Structure 1
Amino acid sequence: MTVTTPDRQAVAPDKEPASIASAPARPRPKGRIGRWLGNSLVQAFLVIVALVWITPLAGLFLSSLRSAQETASGGWWTSLSSPAELSFDNYSALLANAGMTQAFWNTVMISVPATFLVVVIAALAAYAFAWLDFPGRDPLFLLVVALLVVPMQIGLLPVAKLFGQLGLFGTIPGVVLFHVAYGLPFAIFLLRNYFAEMPREMLEAARMDGGTEWRIFTRLVLPVGRPAIASLAIFQFLWVWNDMLVALLFADSASQPLTVELQSQIRQFGSNIDVLAPGAFLSLIVPVVVFFAFQRHFVQGVMAGSVK
């Protein structure tokens, strides 16, 4: 007696095994080549931009190390083949120039207080606009935003007349006050928007623990808002340090900053490159140093809020 067994039907698997299905797909050669070419093009573009930016700076630095005769005889690139002609004698002459050194210290005495006052006042006002309830808060903030569109040139003559009546015209405090007044609207707007993004629960928990508003501001808000504050400080410092319009109008010969002194040196002499080149490089290198010193906080402040 024979027993027949039923034929087994071949069952095709509907799905691949989990180990095979979960394995990441290998990138295709064309995809890898495309990504490599894309990264290479971006890097090459960034290198070109860096060279375009660094070349004038390097040329100014080399010109500041050459004498007036050598500068008149050829371009700054000729010093690359004859480095023996480079020296720091021009910087010694710059330090011996009373007008340039006084203008440098005037620039420091204008830029540092103007930056410090704007950051402190704006941080206090921004915290009040963001987290304190007081009558007229929203209309006052709208007024601050409206001041952003007012051109600075409109207030030059009225403020100059006011400073003349107060005895501030032609003084360093007058220049500082002008920069503080016209720097506050943007500073308050920037910091208020940053402080308003902080979690409300964090501040409420600090208040429930008995923290005063001043303690919350100094111990909690300021440390969290450090990137935005650093970005604001860099913007304000660069604007004040490189300013010449306000200084031309509000500063006299004893309080004029480095930008006005350099312009005066060019107008009076025109050929004293041995003084102008090191002075211009000194005026340029200080903001660069300040920027790179706060670069990490600056990038964090600019990118804040872009990623949730």
Structure 2
Amino acid sequence: MALFASRKSGLTWAVHLTVVLLVALWVFPTFGLLVSSFRTSDQISSSGWWKALSTQETQNSPVRIAGEEDEVDGKFVIRGELFPTSDTELSNWGTSSLKPNAYEPGEVADLGDGNTLTVDNRGAFVLSGPASFAEQRSPRVFTTAATPPEFTLQNYETVLFSSRGGEGVGQAFINTLTVSIPATVIPILIAAFAAYALAWMRFPGRALLIAAVVGLLVVPLQLALIPLLTLHNQVGIGKSYLGIWLAHTGFGLPLAIYLLRNYMVGLPRDIIENARVDGATDFQIFTRIVLPLSFPALASFAIFQFLWTWNDLLVALVFLGASDDKLVLTGRLVNLMGSRGGDWEILATSAFVSIAVPLMVFFAMQRYLVRGLLAGSVK
């Protein structure tokens, strides 16, 4: 028997490999989203996040020639820079979308009517012609350039603080915190009292209450949305934060009571009985003994409840609505997908902002997660 007990399974390597693959499938997209949130729009649209540290060969958006006109030796000349704020190395350029790479840097393009254009490898251009360009339509320049790695904090400044054109998610971020924190704390407080009563207090009907809590775990919350909203409207708390707090509390209580009750019932009976012999009341036992010992279960449920309320969209839309002053972060992201689907830097930054807080909460409390979930599974 000792020989079999000490022998490791031959599939241990498969388990380890599976864990590594699962971690990689979760970490790589998250890290890629973080990197993309600091990149510019041109960099995101031209290459993947894994090329963020390398020089990119990109075809830039066309730029129309503009600048002040000077008369030199009987010709009208416009000089300027195509990339005044970036260190870009031009490789090819053109004046037509059909041939965007028709010319080499420094080559002279004949635009007709005696007009010529030349662009060097740094984007400096010279447009010249026999007639004034004031009454002519200036040409567009298509460029292909080698762009060095570029990172910016402008994306976060736009997303968190801008209110122009629906770009910012700052108000939605605050709204989500306003919903999630009370909707996590309130059910924990109520469930802790209920779980202690079901675990350690003797009263008629206790077994039926435990069965009812277990039964409520499988009831879809969608069945209660409209009746509950109607009730909230009748009592005057519809479309308010109080209404959504109570809704999340009601939907989260069955899991909270079940999880905490299973943990509390597994606490050493001797500690509870000795406290009662010493004259402690149930409230004193609950606050001074049971609650401190039940912190892993409390933290475990807090993780689940916070992640659920933070990522919720359906309940928020039903009980808060879609107005800008009460729209939560998930609702704002849906709007951004519709109105700013081409602004990848805005979408990437907004998405990472939405997952940053849940990530911090999870990593701060994950050590209690397994202990809380396994509560009551082993005697």
TM-score w.r.t. structure 2 length?
0.68
Q: Is 1:86 aligned to residue 151 of structure 2?
A: yes
Which of 278, 283, 287 is matched with 2:358 structurally? 287
How far apart, CA to CA, are the structure 1 residues paired with 2:212 and 2:352? 40
2:17 maps to what in 1?
A: 44
- Letter matched to residue 60 of structure 1: L
When structure 1 is superposed on structure 2, of 96-105 and 201-210 the one drifting more is 96-105
Look up the equivalent residue of 1:301 and give its one-letter code. G
Give the match for residue 162 of structure 1.
231
- The answer as to whether partners of 1:106 and 1:172 remain within 8 angstroms in 2 is no
Contact 2:195/2:261 (<8 A) preserved: yes
Alpha carbons of 1:81 and 1:289: their partners in 2 closer, same or farther (altered >3 Å)?
same
1:276-304 Cα distance to aligned partner (Å, 9 max, x none):
21111011121111111011111222233
Partner of 1:139: 208
Aligned-pair distance for 1:259?
0.5
Q: CA deviation at 1:145?
A: 2.1
* Pair 1:275–1:170, CA change in 2 (3 A): farther
State the partner residue of 2:341: 270
Residue type matched to 1:293 in 2? A
With 286-295 and 192-201 compared, the bigger mean Cα shift is at 192-201
Q: Is 1:95–2:160 an aligned residue pair? A: yes
Counterpart Cα distance in 2 of 1:171 and 1:280? 26
Which residue of structure 1 lines up, in the alignment, with residue 311 of structure 2?
A: 242
Gaps of 5+ in 1: 1-23
1:213 corresponds to 2:282 = yes
Cα distance, 1:84 vs structure 2: 2.8
> CA shift at 1:226, angstroms?
1.2
**1:134 Cα shift?**
2.8
**Residue in structure 2 matched with residue 76 of structure 1 by the alignment:** 49
Offset at residue 133 of structure 1 (A): 2.2
Distance 2:305 2:213 in 1: 17
Question: Per-residue deviation at 1:127?
Answer: 0.4
Report the Cα distance in structure 2 between the residues aligned to 1:102 and 1:90, rounded to whole angstroms.
16
Whether the aligned pair in 1 keeps the contact of 2:265 and 2:376 (CA below 8 Å) is: no
Cα-to-partner distance string for 1:77-126 (whole Å, 9 max, x where unaligned): 22132473122210111122245111001111111101101111100000
Match of 2:101 in 1: none
Contact kept? 2:259, 2:375, Cα under 8 Å: no
**Equivalent residues of 2:311, 2:330 under 8 A apart:** yes
Tell me: CA distance 1:112–1:44, structure 2 relative to 1, closer, same or farther (3 Å).
Answer: same
Contact between 2:199 and 2:261, CA under 8 Å: does it hold in 1?
A: yes
Q: What root-mean-square deviation, in Å, do the aligned CA atoms of Structure 1 and Structure 2 show? A: 2.3
Query: What's the offset of the Cα at 1:146?
Result: 2.0
Per the TM alignment, residue 74 of structure 1 is displaced from its structure 2 partner at its CA by 2.4
SS in 2 for 1:276: helix
Structure 1, 226-235 or 81-90: larger mean CA deviation: 81-90
Residues 47 and 175 from structure 1, CA distance in 2 versus in 1: closer, same or farther, beyond 3 angstroms? same
CA deviation after TM superposition for structure 1 residue 307, in Å: 4.6
Gaps of 5+ in 2: 56-147
Matches within 5 A, 1:188-199: 188-199=257-268
RCO greater where, 1 or 2, for CA within 8 Å and sep 6 or more?
1
d(CA) in 1 for partners of 2:315, 2:169: 19
**Which residue is 1:3 aligned to?**
none
Distance 1:305 1:114, change over 3 A: same
What is the DSSP-based 3-state SS (H/G/I as helix, E as strand, rest coil) of the residue aligned with 1:62? helix
The alignment-based identity, stated in percent, is: 46
For 2:213 and 2:15, the matched residues in 1 are separated by 40
Query: How far apart are 1:45 and its partner, in Å?
Result: 2.9
SS at match of 2:261: helix
Please give the alpha-carbon distance, in whole angstroms, between the structure 2 residues aligned to 1:100 and 1:65: 16
2:374 maps to what in 1? 303
Letter in 2 for 1:154: L
Aligned length: 279
CA deviations on 1:260-281 (whole Å, 9 max, x unpaired) are: 1111121223223222211110
| Deviation digits for residues 119-151 of structure 1 (CA, Å, limit 9, x no counterpart) | 111000000111112333232332222222211
For the residues of structure 2 that align with 1:78 and 1:166, how far apart are their CA atoms?
A: 57
1: CA distance, partners of 2:273 / 2:17? 50
Give the Å deviation of 1:76.
Answer: 2.2
Q: Does 1:224 align with 2:283?
A: no
- 3-state SS of 1:66 partner: coil
Contact 1:68 1:272 in 2 (8 A): yes
Deviation, structure 1 residue 163: 2.0
Q: Given that residues 36 and 44 in structure 2 are in contact (C-alpha distance below 8 angstroms), is that contact kept between their aligned partners in structure 1?
A: yes
Q: 1:209 to 1:129 in 2, by over 3 A?
A: same
Aligned CA distance change for structure 1 residues 38 and 144 (closer, same or farther; 3 Å): closer
Are 2:177 and 1:125 equivalent residues in the alignment?
Answer: no
In 1, Cα distance between the equivalents of 2:228 and 2:328? 19
Q: Distance in 1 between matches of 2:203 and 2:327?
A: 41
CA deviation vs aligned residue, 1:180-233 (integer Å, no higher than 9, x gap): 111001111111121112232221110111111111001110111111111111
